[in-house]
Structure 1
Amino acid sequence: MNAPAGRDAGATPDGIAGLRIALVGPLPPPAGGMANQTAQLASLLRDAGAIVDVVQVNPPWRPAWAASVRGLRAALRLPPYLWHLWRAAGQAQLFHVMANSGWSWHLHAAPAIWIARLRGKGVLLNYRGGEAEAFLARRASLVRFSMRRAHQVVVPSTFLAEVFRRHGVSAQIVPNIVDLALFRPSDCAAPHASILIARHLEPLYDHATALRAFAIVRRSLPHAHLTICGEGPELQRLQQLAQILDVSDAVHFAGKLDNAAMAGQYRLCDLALNPSLADNQPISILEAWASGVPVVSTGVGGVPHLVRDQINAVLVPPQDPAAMAQAMLSVLQHPSRAWSLASAGRQAARRYAWPQVAPLLMAQYRLVLKRPPAVGYTALVSTLLFPVHEMLKRHRSVSLRRNMERSQWWSPQQLEALQLQRLRALLLHASEHVPYFRQLYTRLNFDANRVHDLRDLRCLPILNKAEINRHRDDFVAENAGPLRRFNTGGSSGEPLIFFQGKDRVSHDVAAKWRATRWWGVDIGDREALMWGSPIELNAQDRWRMRRDRLLRSLLLPAFDLSPARLDDYLGRLQRLRPAMLFGYPSAMCLLVRHAHSRRIALDGLGVKVVFVTAERLYDEQRALLERAFAAPVANGYGGRDAGFLAHECPEGGMHITAEDVIIEIVDAQGAPVAPGDSGAILVTHLASRDFPFIRYATGDVGALDTRPCPCGRGLPLLKRVEGRVTDFVVARDGTVMHGLALIYVLRDLPEIRAFKIIQESLDTTRVLLVSVSGLPPALRLSIISQFRARLGASVEILIDEVTDIPAEASGKHRYVISKVSSH
C-alpha cells in the first residue's frame, strides 16, 4: 500500500497492521478539535493497516427537531450508542476512547469503558480538555472510579498529565497529531495584516476579548482584517460587539469549516490568535505552526507547556485586550520577528506529525494488549493462591508489586525523590545497626544526616566482594530478622557469601513479577525455568515441588545439560506448553540447538516471551531464541547478590528498578563517567537493611541511557550491559577489548560445536573446544594466527580439544573468562 502524501510509510510501528480497534469519539460535523482528531486518527490507523470501527458519540439527529430539546437529545442517542458499543466490543481487540469533561464523560466515555471491560477487551482512555482540573475537582471520586477501569490512560500534554497525577491517576503522553501535508506554508509571503481565530464560538474561548484587542490593532493598522472560524451560541453577541466596537466591516464570521477549508484559511492569514480562558494542547496552534503562521495566545492551562514564549509563540494574560493587541502589533509590524516565530513554529510542528506520534501510540496499544489475563486459573493463582503463599512466608511482594506498577509511571524527578528518601533511611539504619558501616562512617567522618542529594553517596568507598567476605559478620544488622545464606558461583573470581532477609526477597520477587506482567505473563501462567545450581536443587523438598506444581512453574536445572537430559527437558516443555521461559540465555540456546539436531520444532509451544537473565545476552542468542520459539526475547539484568536490577520492556527499554536500586557508572578510578559512556556498575540496593549492599561493585560493565523510553515509564534506562569485567581480555600491549573480538573467530566455524576461551595471563590464552570430527591442522593454525593478531604475536595460544565443556557451578555457560585485570 502506498503511503498518503506527506506521510512516512516506513514510520508505521510494528504490530498495527491487522489490529482491530473500536475508536469511540465524535466526528465532524461540527469540525471541532476532538472530532477532527478522531476522524484523522481513524484514517491514519486504517492507512497503517488497522481495522477501525468508529463508534460515533454525536451521530446526526433523527428526527432533526430533537436537537433543540436538550434532555430528549441524550435520551434518543444513548440506547443506539450503547448497542453500537456492545456490538463493537464483540469484534475489537481494544477500545480507544476519546474522552472529555462534563456530561460527555458520563454519557460517552464511562459507558464505553465499562462495556469494554464487561466483554473482556482492553481499554485505552485518551482524555483531553482544558477544563479537566475543575471537572476532576468536582467529581473526583466518581470519575476516578470509572477511569481506573481503563488499562492505560493517555493525555496529549504534560499539563494534563500533571493534573491527573494530582488526582491520583497515572497518565502517559501521546500528543495530538497535525497533518503536515494538509497544513503547509503559503507560497505567497506578502503581509496584509490578516488575523485568524480558529475556535468555536463558546464563552470558554473568549472571542469578546479578541474583538476588543482587534479594535486596538485597527488604530495602528487600519487595513487589518479578522476572520473567525467556527460556530456556537456566542455568534449573535459577538456580531453585536463588533458593531459596537466599529470593526464589523473588518471582521468575517466564516462559520464551520472542514479541515481542507481551514488549511486554506491559515495560508491566507498573517497571524493566528488563540484567546482562550482555559486550554490544553490547542490543535489550532499546531495547525498554525505547520502552516508557517506566527501565533499569539493566552498563557492558560497547558499552553505554556506546549509553546516557548517569545521563541515559537507570544503569550499574553487572558482577558487583557491591551496586552493582546500589543503582542499582535509586535508581530504584524515587524516582519523579521514574524518570520522568526513562524520558522520556530514549523520546527516544533514536526514533533506532532504521525511518524513521530505513531510509535508512542502503538507503545500504549501494546501495553493494553499485553495485559496479563484476568480470568481462569492464572487469575486464581495471582489474586488468591500466590498472595496467600507470600503472606504465610511473611513476604510483602504483593503490595510492593502494586506500588511499583503505580510508581513506574512517575516522573524521573519523583523517582529520584523516592530514591533519596529511601537512601537516607538505609544509610541512617546502617550507621545505627550495622557494625561495618558504623566503623566506616566513624573512620570517614561521614554523617548520614547530611545526605541531601544522591550524589552524596559518592562520599562512601566502593564495596567489593573481597571486602564483604573479609568482614561478613560485621555486615549483618544487629536487629536483622531471619536471614538466608546465599553465595555467587565465583565464575569471575572469588565467590561471594552473603545473607538476605525477607524484605530484600520481597522486593526482588515484586521487581521480577512487575517485569513479566509487562509482557502479558502473570504469576500462575505456565512457566519453565532453566536455572539453578546443585546447592539450590538440594533444597527441593516435597513441599516446594508441590508448590511449584500448584503455581504451574517447572524448574529445569541448568547445571548438567547432557543430551539425555535435554531430551527429557524437551518432552517436559511439550507437555507443559509454557507461556514464559526464564533463565540463562546460554542454557536455552543449548536446548534450542539440541532441538534442531533432533528436528523438534519449538515455535508451536505457545511461548509469549523468553526472559533471559544472569548473563550477557548476545545478538546471535537473541535471534536464535526468537526464531526458535516464535516469541520476543526480554533481557533482564541482575544477580543473586545485587538483585533484579533492570528489565527490558516490549518497547526495548532496559528499565532500572529505580524504586529499589541506585545504579552508578564509574571509571577505573571510581569517578562517575559521562552519561552514555561505559564503566563499572555500582549498585546500592535500598531494600538490603539486614545485610546492606551500598556502592557494591557488581563486576559488570555497562552504560546509562539518557533518552526516555516510548512506553512512557519514568524509570531510568540502562543503555547497555557489556558483560562482566572478566568478559574483557587484555592484549599483550595493555589494550582492553571485549571477548567478542575472540568469540567472532570461533563462533561461525562449522567445524566447531562448542568452545570456551580462558585468558590465563598476558602471555597465555587457552581455548577449549568441541569439534565435529577433529580440528584440521590448517584451521588450528588459522585460529592461533587470528588470536595472536588480537592479543599479541608472542602470546601462547593453547588449543585443547575436549568432548564436553561443563557449565559453571551455577549452570551458566560462559564463552570467555579472563584472569587478567583490565584496570
Structure 2
Amino acid sequence: MMLTGMRIALVGPQAPPAGGMANQTAQLAALLRAEGARVELLAVNTPLLPPWLARVRYLRAALRLPVFLWRLWRASRTVDLFHVMANSGWSWHLQGAPALWIASLCGKPVLLNYRGGEAAAFFARHRRLVDASLRRAGAIAVPSRFLQEIFEQCGHAAHIVPNVIDLHRFTPANGERDNQGPVILVARHLQALYDNASAVRAFAIVREAFPAARLVLAGDGPERAALESLANSLNVAEAVLFAGHVANHAMPALYQASTIVLNPSLADNMPISVLEALACGVPVVSTNVGGVPALLQHGVTGLLVSPGDAPAMAQAMLALLREPQQARRLAANGLAHAARFDWQHVGPQLAVLYRRILAAPRPSGYARLVAHWLFPLHEKLKRHDSVRLLRRMERSQWWSAGQLERWRLARLRRLLRHAGAHVPYYGALFQRLGFDPRQVHDLADLARLPLLRKRDISTAREAFKSDRAVGLRPFSTGGSSGEPLLFFLGRRRISHDIAAKWRATRWWGVDIGEREVVLWGSPIELHAQDRLRRLRDWLLRSTLLPAFAMSPGKVDGFIKRLLELRPRMLFGYPSALCRIASQAGAQGVPLDGLGVKVAFVTSERLYDEQRAQIASAFGCPVANGYGGRDAGFIAHECPHGGMHITAEDIIVEIVDAAGQPLPAGSLGEIVVTHLATRDYPFIRYATGDIGALGTAPCACGRGLPLLQKIEGRSTDFLTATDGTVMHGLALVYILRELPQVRSFKIVQESLLRTRVLLVCLPALDAPTRAVIVAGFQARLGAQVAVDIDEVDEIAAEASGKYRYVISKIT
C-alpha cells in the first residue's frame, strides 16, 4: 500500500467508553502501523481531567478543548497528514471542526472520516458553519452510500471507505451453540438514539413463544435505569442481562454465543456491531434507518424492520427462531458479505486518498499569499467569479456520474431557455425547428439541434449576443484551423475557464504563485504586455517568453533565463519546449535539475516522442491540455494519464459526418456545448478536431469523463532566411486578423519563396495584399517572395486531413 514512513496524526476517540468509533480508531491505528506508517494517536476525549470533573458534561468539553488544540498544533509540526474521525453534534463543533482548521492553518492536508448517522439533520441545522469547515478537508471519506448521498446533496464530494472488520478475530463459533435457549444480543450504548427500549419490548414478545430466551444488552449509558424499570414492568427482568461496557477484545465471544443480533437504532450509518455480527456468522435483525439498507439486503443478508416497531422486531426474530434454515441462509450470506470489509479490501482505498491529499499543492509562503490573496483580489477587481468556481469544481470533480449528469442537465436546460428567450440567433433557430427547451429531458436531446460551425458565427456575429449579456469582450481564434473566427465572451465564461485551468494546475501539485515560464506566441499576449500586466506577471511570478522567433540565439537566451528563474512549472507549445530541449541537449546544458514539477503543453497535438523528449530534458511529467478561446477549456490530463473533460461546464459529443452522436470509443468530430456561455452561446459547436470519448473511468477516481483520443491539428515550424525557426502561428496570426479571409493554407516552398492560398469574401484589395506581404517578409526575411493566390476552395490532403502550414525546408 506504500504507507511505509508516512507520518499520520489520527484524531479520534479512545476507549473508554468502548464505542464503535473508538474501536475503529484504535484498530485503524494498529493496521496503519502494521503497514509501516508512523501514527500519532490524538484522543479527542483525553483523560487528563480528574474523575469528578470529567463527569460534568459541558465543563468537561470546555476544559478539554485547549489541551486538544495544543496537541493538534504540536502534531502539525511533525506529521505529513491528519486523519480526522468525525461525528455530528457537539462532537463536530468541539473536535472535528477544530482539527480541520488547525491542520489547514498549519498547511497540512486532512482526510476527514465522517461517520455521523444523524448527518442530514445536523447539516440542515448548521449548514453554513459546517460548510466553512468542510472546505478545509483535502478529501472526505464516509463508510456508506447513505452518507455519500447526504454530502452530495450539500455539494460536497465524499468517497466511500467502509469500516474495517478484523476477520481474524471476528469469526463464526466453533461447534454448536449451547441449547439453553436462544440468546438475543443488542450491542449498542444505552442511549435514547439506539432505542434499547423497543428491543426490550420486542424481547418480551419473543419470550412468550420461547420462555428460555435471554436478552443481553452489551453497553452502558444514561438509559440503563429506565430500561431496568421497563424490564421489571414487562416481567422479563430475570432474562435480561445488562452486561455494561464490554471490551472490544471480548466482543467476538459475545457474538459467537448469540443466536440473533438485534440493532434497534433510530438513526444509523454503518453500525460496527452489525458488521461484527455478520463476520461471526450470526443472523441480524435491524431497523431500516440511515445507511443500514445499503449495508443489509432485506431477506438476503438480514431482516429489516421499521424503527420503533417492537412487534415487527419480535416477528422478525421469531421467524428466524422458528425457521432455522432461513437463519442459516442469512448467516451464510452475511458471512460472505462481511469479507468486503477486511483490511485487504479497505486499506488500498484509504491509501489512494492519503496519496491524493499529499499530492495536492503545498506551495511556499509567497505562493500561498498569491493563491489565497493576491490572485483572488486580482480576479475580484476584474469582476471574475473564478475563486468561488474553483472551490466548487474541486468538490464536483469527485461527484458520482449520476450527480454530475443531473448537474449538467439542469445547467443545459437553463442555457437553452435563456438562448431561446434572449439570443436572436437561437430564438429564430428554435422557432424554425419547433424546438422547445422545456422538452429537454436528457443530454442526448441536444442532438435535435444542428451543429454550429465557424461560418455560422461569422455570418451572424451580432445575433449571438444575449440581450442580457454582461461584460462582453471581443476575442478571436488563432486561425490554425484555416478559419479564423471573431466572437465575444462574457465575464461568466472567462471565470469558468480560469477556474477550470486553475483546478487542472493544482492536480499536479503546483498552484498560482509558483514560479512559471510561459512559452507562448500569440500577438494578443505579446502585444498586451503593458506596464500594468508586467507588474501583475511579476507579482504572480509568471515570465512570458515569445515562442514565435526561435533562432538559435533566441533559444540560447531562453535556456539562460530558465537556468536563472528555475521555474516550478512550464507552459507552452510542445514544439517550442522540444526546440529548447534539443538545443540544450546538443550543447550539453542539463535542464533536469531546475526543479520543474510539471510541463503543461497545449495548442498543438502532443506526440509521444515529444512527451518523452520534454520529460527527459526537464526531468518532469508532461501534462497535456486541450481547448481554445472559442470552445473553452475542454479537457486536461491528470497525473494518472486520464484526459478529463471539464464536464461541469462542457458537454462533449463525438459525431459522425451527418452530425449524429457516436458511442464512446468511436472516432469522430469533437463537438462542444459550453454551459457558461449564455452571454454569447456556443451550443453544439464543431471544433473541427477529431477524437473519441473514453470507455473506462480514470484510475485517479475523479468522476469527470475522459477524452480517449484527440487527433487535433498540428502546425509546422517555419524557417526564416537568417536561420530563425518560428512557430507556424507567427504567420497564421497575420491572416486571421483580416475579416475577409475565410480559410487559408501557407506553404513554405523554400527559404526564398512562400505561397499563400486564400479563400476571401470579398476579394482582397491591393493595400490588404501589401499588408500580408509585409507581415510575412517581416518574419521570414525581406528578400522572400510571397505569392498570394485567391481560390474558391482549399482541398484536403490525400489522407483527408487538412494541413494549414506546411514547410518543405528540412
The structural deviation recorded for 1:661 is 1.2
CA distance in 1, matches of 2:58, 2:525: 69
Residue of structure 2 in register with 1:183 after alignment: 170
Which residues in structure 2 correspond to 1:760-779 (within 5 Å)? none
CA distance in 2, matches of 1:457, 1:293: 53
Residue of structure 1 in register with 2:544 after alignment: 555
Question: CA offsets, 1:690-741, max 9 Å, x none?
Answer: 5432212332312245648755x5x5321x43122779xxxxxxxxxxxxxx
What TM-score comes out, normalization by structure 2 length?
0.77
Computed over aligned residues only, the root mean square deviation of the Cα atoms, in angstroms, reads: 3.9
Query: Partner amino acid for 1:716?
Result: L
The structural deviation recorded for 1:248 is 5.2
Aligned 8 A contact 1:277 1:298 in 2 = yes
Aligned 8 A contact 2:520 2:573 in 1 = yes
Structure 2 counterpart SS, 1:312: coil
Q: CA separation of 1:819/1:199 partners in 2, compared to 1, >3 Å: closer, same or farther?
A: farther
In the alignment, which of 699, 704, 709 is matched to residue 716 of structure 1? 704
Residue of structure 2 in register with 1:7 after alignment: none
The structural deviation recorded for 1:644 is 0.6
Query: Partner amino acid for 2:308?
Result: Q
Residue of structure 1 in register with 2:731 after alignment: none
The reply to whether residue 116 of structure 1 matches residue 99 of structure 2 is no
In the alignment, which of 691, 697, 703 is matched to residue 701 of structure 1? 691
Aligned 8 A contact 2:8 2:39 in 1 = yes
Query: Partner amino acid for 2:102?
Result: I
In the alignment, which of 202, 208, 213 is matched to residue 202 of structure 2? 213
CA distance in 2, matches of 1:657, 1:474: 27
Runs of at least 5 residues in structure 1 that lack an aligned partner in the other structure:
1-11, 728-767, 769-816
Question: CA offsets, 1:427-466, max 9 Å, x none?
Answer: 3444456555445434423233433432221111233456
CA distance in 1, matches of 2:698, 2:323: 39
CA distance in 1, matches of 2:403, 2:674: 18
Question: CA offsets, 1:59-106, max 9 Å, x none?
Answer: 446655555455664566455444433321221232222222344334
Question: CA offsets, 1:485-537, max 9 Å, x none?
Answer: 4224436xx43424232333332122112322344433222112233346754
Structure 1 counterpart SS, 2:630: coil
Query: Partner amino acid for 1:35?
Result: A
Aligned 8 A contact 2:205 2:311 in 1 = yes
Query: Partner amino acid for 2:476?
Result: F
Q: CA separation of 1:246/1:388 partners in 2, compared to 1, >3 Å: closer, same or farther?
A: closer
The reply to whether residue 34 of structure 1 matches residue 15 of structure 2 is no
CA distance in 1, matches of 2:151, 2:437: 35
Aligned 8 A contact 1:292 1:342 in 2 = yes
Query: Partner amino acid for 2:38?
Result: I
Question: CA offsets, 1:185-235, max 9 Å, x none?
Answer: 456477964433222233322222223223333344455454433333444
Residue of structure 2 in register with 1:574 after alignment: 563
Residue of structure 2 in register with 1:495 after alignment: 483
Q: Which moved more, 1:510-519 or 1:441-450?
A: 441-450
Which residues in structure 2 correspond to 1:162-561 (within 5 Å)? 162-164=149-151, 171-186=158-173, 188=175, 193-222=182-211, 224-235=213-224, 237-239=226-228, 241-242=230-231, 245-247=234-236, 251-366=240-355, 368-372=357-361, 376-390=365-379, 393=382, 395-405=384-394, 407-408=396-397, 412-431=401-420, 434=423, 436-465=425-454, 475=464, 482-490=472-480, 494-503=482-491, 504-533=493-522, 537=526, 540-541=529-530, 543-559=532-548, 561=550
Q: CA separation of 1:107/1:333 partners in 2, compared to 1, >3 Å: closer, same or farther?
A: same
Q: CA separation of 1:688/1:50 partners in 2, compared to 1, >3 Å: closer, same or farther?
A: same
CA distance in 2, matches of 1:302, 1:40: 22
The reply to whether residue 128 of structure 1 matches residue 115 of structure 2 is yes
Q: CA separation of 1:664/1:143 partners in 2, compared to 1, >3 Å: closer, same or farther?
A: closer
The structural deviation recorded for 1:298 is 0.6
In the alignment, which of 786, 799, 806 is matched to residue 820 of structure 1? 799
Q: CA separation of 1:264/1:584 partners in 2, compared to 1, >3 Å: closer, same or farther?
A: farther
CA distance in 1, matches of 2:422, 2:222: 71
Query: Partner amino acid for 1:36?
Result: N
Runs of at least 5 residues in structure 2 that lack an aligned partner in the other structure:
715-747, 749-795, 803-810
Q: CA separation of 1:194/1:185 partners in 2, compared to 1, >3 Å: closer, same or farther?
A: same
Residue of structure 1 in register with 2:40 after alignment: 53
CA distance in 2, matches of 1:67, 1:551: 52
CA distance in 1, matches of 2:381, 2:64: 53
CA distance in 2, matches of 1:373, 1:487: 35
Residue of structure 2 in register with 1:25 after alignment: 12
Aligned 8 A contact 2:517 2:569 in 1 = yes
Query: Partner amino acid for 2:415?
Result: L
CA distance in 2, matches of 1:138, 1:574: 55
Question: CA offsets, 1:269-299, max 9 Å, x none?
Answer: 4432211122122112222333343321111
Query: Partner amino acid for 1:54?
Result: L
Q: CA separation of 1:483/1:121 partners in 2, compared to 1, >3 Å: closer, same or farther?
A: closer
Residue of structure 2 in register with 1:773 after alignment: none
Structure 2 counterpart SS, 1:717: coil
Aligned 8 A contact 2:177 2:257 in 1 = no
The structural deviation recorded for 1:110 is 3.9
Aligned 8 A contact 1:394 1:502 in 2 = no
CA distance in 2, matches of 1:218, 1:677: 65
Aligned 8 A contact 2:694 2:708 in 1 = no
Aligned 8 A contact 2:185 2:261 in 1 = yes
CA distance in 1, matches of 2:667, 2:172: 45
Question: CA offsets, 1:294-322, max 9 Å, x none?
Answer: 32111122323433333333211112121
Q: CA separation of 1:104/1:530 partners in 2, compared to 1, >3 Å: closer, same or farther?
A: same
Q: CA separation of 1:509/1:84 partners in 2, compared to 1, >3 Å: closer, same or farther?
A: closer
Q: CA separation of 1:135/1:688 partners in 2, compared to 1, >3 Å: closer, same or farther?
A: closer
Q: Which moved more, 1:467-476 or 1:680-689?
A: 467-476
Aligned 8 A contact 1:700 1:721 in 2 = no
What TM-score comes out, normalization by structure 1 length?
0.76
The structural deviation recorded for 1:345 is 3.3
Structure 1 counterpart SS, 2:275: helix
Aligned 8 A contact 1:276 1:300 in 2 = yes
Structure 1 counterpart SS, 2:648: coil
CA distance in 2, matches of 1:180, 1:635: 44
CA distance in 2, matches of 1:226, 1:313: 19
Q: CA separation of 1:51/1:428 partners in 2, compared to 1, >3 Å: closer, same or farther?
A: same
The structural deviation recorded for 1:162 is 4.5
Aligned 8 A contact 2:592 2:618 in 1 = yes
Residue of structure 1 in register with 2:636 after alignment: 647
In the alignment, which of 597, 600, 611 is matched to residue 611 of structure 1? 600
Query: Partner amino acid for 2:83?
Result: H
Q: CA separation of 1:464/1:18 partners in 2, compared to 1, >3 Å: closer, same or farther?
A: farther
Q: CA separation of 1:178/1:531 partners in 2, compared to 1, >3 Å: closer, same or farther?
A: farther
Aligned 8 A contact 1:387 1:398 in 2 = yes
